[in-house]
Amino acid sequence: MLKLFLPNKQIKSVYDIQPEELKAQGIKAIITDLDNTLVAWDCPDATPELLEWLKNMKEHGIKVLIVSNNNKMRVSTFSHPIDIPFIFEARKPMGKAFRQAVKLLNVKKEETVVIGDQLLTDIFGGNRSGLYTILVIPVAQTDGFWTRINRKIERKIMNVFKRKGLIQWEENK
């Protein structure tokens, strides 16, 4: 059961993900979390660096879709100006939003990667759905109320993984 919380890969940020690498792995689409994965949870707009990263993915034929547990206003306000499709109030780690995202992207599960900053929602949900998962270090050092609760549980799981040599979280900072 604990292995469902273990990401396939861990990196510092989305900017460490290159489209050429993804294509070499047969990846055609990214399902990404929004808050503290792409931008800080309280940042309303995409940064210039993120816009460049998204443009690079698009130019290489990698589709991107945001799957967020946040509300419609937050996710649509962020996504519409940059023309990125999204699913809001996703109820991650439940599988419905992940299945819906794969269908919307018109790809196979094995051609899709999930990127997120939380073990309990993004990684657990992606793994349960049979998708390749990548854990990133949260963009901001602060979180919303519910995420702070998740982080306490997450730290316990991370410590187990660290003791077993399965993850080197602090070393990525």
pLDDT at 172: 40
Question: Could you give the C-alpha distances from 144 to 25, 97, 136, in angstroms and in order?
Answer: 34, 21, 17
Predicted pLDDT at 170: 54
Q: What is the pLDDT of residues 114-165, one digit of tens each?
A: 999 999 999 999 999 999 999 999 988 766 666 777 878 888 888 888 888 8
129/106 Cα distance (integer angstroms) = 16
Provide the total of helices (H) and of strands (E) in the chain, helices listed first.
Answer: 6, 6
171 confidence band (pLDDT: 50, 70, 90): very low
The residue with greater pLDDT, 142 or 77, is 77
The CA-to-CA distance between both ends of the chain, in Å, stands at: 27
For residues 103-116, give the mean pLDDT.
Answer: 98
For the stretch 11-28, pLDDT in tens is 999 999 999 999 999 999
pLDDT for the residue 145:
67
**Element (H or E) spanning 133, and its range?**
strand 132-136
C-alpha 23/C-alpha 14 separation (Å) is 16
* Every domain of the chain and the residues it spans: 2-172
The verdict on pTM exceeding 0.85 is: yes
- Per 3-state DSSP, the chain is made up of helix, strand and coil in percentages (nearest 5) of 45, 15, 40
Which one of 3.40.640.10, 3.40.50.1000, 3.40.630.10, 2.40.160.150 gives the CATH number of domain 2-172? Answer: 3.40.50.1000
The SS3 call for residue 41 is coil
